[in-house]
């Protein structure tokens, strides 16, 4: 069965991380069938979280570390390696790393060295997100990283191109995991042989996304994919980064916290309008 990984939102209260709210949210969606929780990703506003905050978040999940993938990448390699070492001590499922996003034109040799240095501490997933990092890590890059001795065990490929994912799949062995990043492409990616989905919509429709992953080859999966795309469209309409939080509140009736500026919470008028749109596309809530 393909893996379902959810990059959870980071819960803030008046700008301060609330690990208790993060755990409540994570525990809830794990019970709904999610396999792994991805910490400090883009959906979780990861690049805006300080080193000390990342450590506190990681420690809040120590008792379920085997269910955790933690994004350790940053623009400070010493802090990245320290976070990776703490994740290794906790024996998390895996670590992941973005490219050094503020420096999009460094030589490939340095980028390979960056991932090799991180993966020497613990098995690592490459987090490929060209839109935000300025780097497109292709099958050729993955092959070079593996040839250089990096302990790269997979990739989250956040690109709007199944062929891009396939080329990585074809260039690696069966043990190497290729995960689809964009939720609207989940069904197509799974039908093409990808190993799972890293889906932000799992924050607010974990049951529907689980159904999609379980039934990607049949009509039930097609219905689930249509629902995921419909609710994702609602999120984009209202500003996805903030909408992720509000959608959890609307669909599941609890607060997963709020975003931290410069990503601002939605106001009450906007929330009411969003709730009306959600009821139109998901009249039955988080179910097929």
Task: Quote the DSSP letter at residue 64.
Answer: G
- CA–CA separation, 156 vs 178, rounded Å? 6
Query: Helices 51-59 and 77-90: crossing angle, nearest 10°?
Result: 10
Contacts of residue 206, defined as CB under 8 A and 6 or more positions apart, other chains included, come to 6, 29, 32, 33, 34, 286
Do strands 177-180 and 196-198 pair parallel, antiparallel, or not at all (unpaired)? parallel
Nearest-5° Cα angle at 158, 161 to 179: 95
- CA–CA separation, 196 vs 246, rounded Å? 26
- CA–CA separation, 200 vs 210, rounded Å? 12
Contacts 24+ apart (CB under 8 A), 138-141: 138/164, 138/167, 138/168, 139/164, 139/167, 139/168, 139/170, 139/171, 140/171, 141/108, 141/111, 141/112
HSE-up (13 A, CA, CB side) for residue 270? 15
Active site residue 156: yes
Residue entry with tokens 């994004």: 71
Q: Are 155 and 137 in contact (CB under 8 A)?
A: yes
Nearest Cα to 58, choosing from 67, 163, 141, 275?
Answer: 67
Candidates 156, 169, 177, 271; catalytic one = 156
HSE-up (13 A, CA, CB side) for residue 26? 30
Catalytic residues: 156
């Amino acid at each position: 069965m393909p893996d379902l990984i959810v990059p959870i939102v980071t819960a803030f209260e008046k700008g301060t991380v609330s690990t208790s709210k993060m755990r409540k949210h994570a525990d809830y969606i794990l019970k709904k069938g999610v396999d792994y929780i991805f910490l400090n990703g883009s959906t979780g506003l990861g690049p805006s979280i300080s080193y000390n905050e990342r450590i506190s978040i990681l420690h809040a999940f120590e008792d379920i570390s085997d269910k955790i993938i933690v994004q350790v990448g940053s623009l400070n390699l010493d802090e990245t390696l320290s976070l990776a070492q703490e994740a290794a001590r906790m024996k998390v499922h895996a670590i992941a790393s973005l490219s050094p996003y503020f420096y999009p034109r460094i030589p490939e040799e340095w980028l390979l060295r960056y991932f090799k240095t991180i993966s020497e501490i613990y098995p690592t997933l490459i987090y490929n997100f060209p839109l935000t990092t300025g780097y497109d890590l292709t099958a050729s890059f993955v092959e070079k990283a593996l040839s250089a001795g990096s302990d790269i065990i997979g990739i989250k490929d956040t690109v709007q191109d199944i062929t891009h994912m396939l080329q990585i799949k074809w260039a690696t062995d069966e043990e190497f995991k290729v995960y689809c990043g964009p939720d609207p492409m989940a069904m197509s990616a799974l039908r093409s042989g990808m190993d799972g989905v890293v889906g932000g919509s799992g924050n607010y429709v974990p049951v529907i996304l689980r159904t999609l992953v379980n039934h990607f080859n049949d009509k039930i999966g097609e219905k689930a994919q249509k629902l995921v795309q419909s609710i994702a469209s609602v999120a984009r309409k209202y500003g996805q980064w903030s909408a992720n939080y509000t959608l959890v509140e609307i669909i599941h009736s609890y607060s997963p916290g709020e975003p931290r500026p410069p990503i601002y919470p939605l106001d009450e008028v906007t929330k009411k309008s969003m709730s009306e749109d959600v009821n139109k596309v998901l009249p039955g809530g988080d179910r097929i």
